[in-house]
Chain A
Amino acid sequence: MSSSAESALTGIHPRSETTIRVSRDFDRGRTTQDSLREAFRRDAYDLVCLQKEEGIDWVSDGQLTWQDFLRPICETFEGLKIGADLFRWFDTNTFYRRPTVVGKVTVRENDGSNSFYERHTVWGSLGDVAAGKRKKLALPGPLTIAALLEDKYYPSKKDLVKDITQALAIMIDFLANKGISCIQLNEPSLVYKYGPSEFGGEAYQDIFSNSISDHLARSRAELWLHTYFGDCSKVLSQLLKLEPFELVGIDFTQTPLSDIEGCDFSGKTLGCGCVDGRNSLIESPDWIADFSKQASKVLRPQQIVIFPSTDLKYLPREYADHKLRAVAQAAKLLR
């Protein structure tokens, strides 16, 4: 069993009520862009401070400005246009604006990745608040991006996934050089219980695995892979073989531990998504630690990182922060 446990967040954190008020005012034309930007900066600063105080090991800026999980990527990549219509985000009660592929997908030349860093992370404006801490960012994975957009350009989905993977690889390298220590690729479409599971007869996990193996190398940053909104037991063994990922995360609210007992986590870190990101019920640190310990016994990873099953954006901020504290305390109990 692994001897150490760490903690992290999984993706987008909810905005504080103060930021929500300012954003509503901005939406109604009652305040300025600068006021909104400052509200986000302040909110991210408070969130980073909270993570430091609680001892979260991989610190996120909360990705608070992200309107949905795809928008920043669409604004950075060539060949993608953001749609006006709203679509339901999986089976949640949130919505995203579906992008359309109108050309070859690449990172915008010259300034693409830098533009992403400047516009969609706030690390540049937080000073040295996170000094000494490892910074983490979650991105949508190539398969999920391809599965969710409207494609008017590529005759072959495999080529679309390939180009997205290559574009992500460029961005990941850039972000690593900017000091992001960990990039987590979130791939809910790989396992979504209500979604399709193939493009043109080829299973999602095969397209994904091939694209990752061919086009994504290990980076200066740690690369993590996480799936949620569905049971990963049928694809987990295949995902564990993907070399670039040091960590593979599991949404245990969807995947029973008993169904993955034979999976080989040797040499990998387990992302233990046992804290339900879609329920305000706050799990106790003891319960989380107990579950994580049992998961470690069954799966025998080299290390374990405890995090929520999904983004915490589906909760009000106060409850998301309680879950953050519980995750951090649970990891400390296991050390």
Chain B
Amino acid sequence: MESQVLEKRTESELLPTQEIGSIAKPAWRVKGVTSDASLTWSDIKEAEFWGSKLDVPNYTDLIALLKERLNSKRPPLEEERTAIREWSVLYALRMFESVGLSRVYSGEQWRVEMYEHFVRNVEGFKLLGSVQSFDYKYYTKASVISPPKFRNPIHLEEFLFVKKHSSRQLKVPITGPYTIVDWTFNEFYETDLRNKKGSNAGRFNFRETYFDARRRFILDLVRNVFRPEISVLTQNGANWIQIDEPAVTTHPDKLEMDLFVEAINELTRGFENCTFSLHNCYSDYRLLAKYSPDLKDITQLALEFANRDSVDLGQDSNTRPGYQELSAFEDEGYRGGFGLGVVHVHDYFGEPRGGALVEGNDIIESPKLIRDRILYASKLLKDPSRISVNPDCGLRTRSWEIAYRKLQALSEGAKLARQELSK
């Protein structure tokens, strides 16, 4: 077993704070760039409110642009679209910075959605149509129809813009190869294998073909798309990349998990000046723990825990059930860092308890609850320097008001935990 590389600390403080990825696109951002949705005064007021609250530099320029759009009958010009998109990143950056996060990024304001953003920008994928995720929520699913090829950098423009406007540590989230492959129909590689294996339908081995095709797909994707993408980013100064892999542990067998490890190790191989973290959530952590020591270059696992936890105050195993699975990682020999999920990001249907407020379907965790979660994790891991603090996942399903309050509480909770640890 390779020894786990300890998290490269670029900040001096204990318990650095970070976000995971997305925040909601404000209405002015969505409507401002389309021809078929009208901006309203309420949207502009929202931009004014947040511009002022977050002290976004020169935000009145955005307001002037939005007012012009409101009064105009024509569709937005390309430069207006670009400007509005850039403003949304600036607003997101200011939200993260104003609450004191150590590591920040763009709030994924330029991305359609984590899967579609990637496949739209890579050769070899064809978007086929909508499939249901749950209820009336859908996503657009693609098929791989030819070997994937790097076309143009996918994240570079966004990175360079963020780099120009923030002096904090930047952590660039990218959707990982295992998830891309799992969420994509594998037409090309399966057809290729079927043709090679011949046309005897009755002798056709579905399972073997499926897995062989999947492996070829993922390795081609890593070698021909992900590695060039990472190269471009690191050559331009990116030194922390978060690989988002929500699909990991969906297929809990050894073949699949070995494939995941192989793909991630191939992706990260040789990029010496870059920190890599892996984000996964709502998943089987006992299974992930088993394979985590094999991830050679992953120095932080950013995971969801708040969703599984109680909202009572306390720093013991009874009050902190959500964090027990940290022990599984320790038991399996993982010695890297954790991005500890300390705030819930979805609708909450539980009762308000001592550690949080509940407003409608939102839970607002108190700084003390977050402190207790962090301190309990510190006890389990016996080393607080391995902990960074983040929400369970991206906050894009929450309103800006709620996201802001949660991030404030997160930042304050980390501060309380630092104070305790320094005693």
Show the binding face of A for B, using Cβ within 8 Å.
14-15, 17, 20, 23-24, 26-27, 67-68, 84-86, 88, 91, 93-97, 193-194, 252-254, 256-258, 274, 276, 279-281, 287-288, 290-291, 293-295, 297-298, 313-319
Contact = CB atoms under 8 A, between A and B. Distances in A.
B134 A94 contact: yes
Given A254-B206, A280-B187, A281-B185, A93 B349 contact: no
Contact of B185 (A94, A95, A280): A280
B82 interface: no
Interface in B102-143: 128-138, 141, 143
A93 B182 contact: yes
Interface stretch (B83-91, B93-101, B197-205, B266-274): B197-205
Interface stretch (B24-32, B236-244, B249-257, B296-304): B249-257
B143 A280 contact: yes
B207 interface: yes
B324 to A, nearest CB: 19
A220 B392 CA distance: 52
Contacts of A85: 349
Contacts of B250: 88, 91, 93
B58 to A, nearest CB: 33
Nearest to A231: B207
Contacts of A313: 131-132
Interface in B206-244: 206-207, 210
B181 to A, nearest CB: 12
B347 A84 contact: yes
Interface in B177-193: 182-183, 185-187, 190-191
Given A254-B206, A256-B205, A194 B253 contact: yes
A254 B251 contact: no
B201 A14 contact: no
A281 B132 contact: no
Contacts of A24: 136, 138
Contacts of B141: 316
25 contacts: A14-B132, A17-B130, A20-B138, A68-B134, A85-B349, A86-B134, A94-B133, A95-B133, A96-B134, A252-B206, A253-B206, A253-B210, A258-B203, A276-B206, A280-B187, A281-B143, A281-B186, A287-B199, A290-B201, A293-B202, A294-B201, A295-B202, A298-B202, A315-B185, A316-B130
Contact of B132 (A84, A94, A288, A318): A94
Contact of B136 (A26, A256, A293): A26
A234 to B, nearest CB: 15
List the 9 closest pairs (A to B, CB-CB), nearest first. A316-B129, A294-B202, A291-B201, A27-B136, A280-B185, A95-B134, A290-B201, A23-B136, A253-B206
Nearest to A88: B250
Nearest to A67: B135
Interface string B346-370: 0101000000000000000000000
A93 B183 contact: yes
Given A84-B349, A287-B201, A290-B202, A194 B134 contact: no
Given A23-B136, A93-B183, A281-B190, A319 B201 contact: no
Contacts of A17: 129-130
Contacts of B132: 14-15, 94, 313
Nearest to A309: B206
Given A20-B138, A279-B185, A291-B204, 5 more contacts: A94-B133, A276-B206, A279-B187, A316-B131, A317-B129
A14 B187 contact: no
B393 interface: no
Contacts of B130: 14-15, 17, 20, 316-317
Contacts of B201: 274, 287-288, 290-291, 294
Interface in B153-200: 182-183, 185-187, 190-191, 199
B247 interface: yes
Nearest to A24: B136
A194 B254 CA distance: 11
Residue among A15, A93, A258, A295 with most chain B CB within 10 A: A93
Contacts of B182: 93
Contacts of B128: 280, 315-316, 318-319
A322 to B, nearest CB: 11
B346 to A, nearest CB: 9
B285 to A, nearest CB: 14
Residue among A252, A280, A293 with most chain B CB within 10 A: A280
Contacts of A27: 135-137
Contacts of A315: 128, 131, 185
B167 to A, nearest CB: 38
Contacts of B199: 287, 290
B339 to A, nearest CB: 22
A276 B136 CA distance: 24
Given A93-B247, A253-B207, A257-B202, A279 B134 contact: no
Contacts of A88: 250
A24 B132 CA distance: 11
Contacts of A91: 250-252
A86 B307 CA distance: 12
Contacts of B134: 67-68, 86, 94-97
A280 B128 CA distance: 9
Contacts of A256: 205-207
A313 B132 CA distance: 7
Nearest to A251: B206
Contacts of A23: 136
A39 to B, nearest CB: 11
A287 B195 CA distance: 12
B192 to A, nearest CB: 11
Contacts of B204: 291
A320 to B, nearest CB: 9
Nearest to B182: A93
Contacts of A298: 202
A217 B199 CA distance: 42
Contacts of B205: 256
A281 B187 contact: yes
A309 to B, nearest CB: 9
Interface string B289-331: 0000000000000000000000000000000000000000000
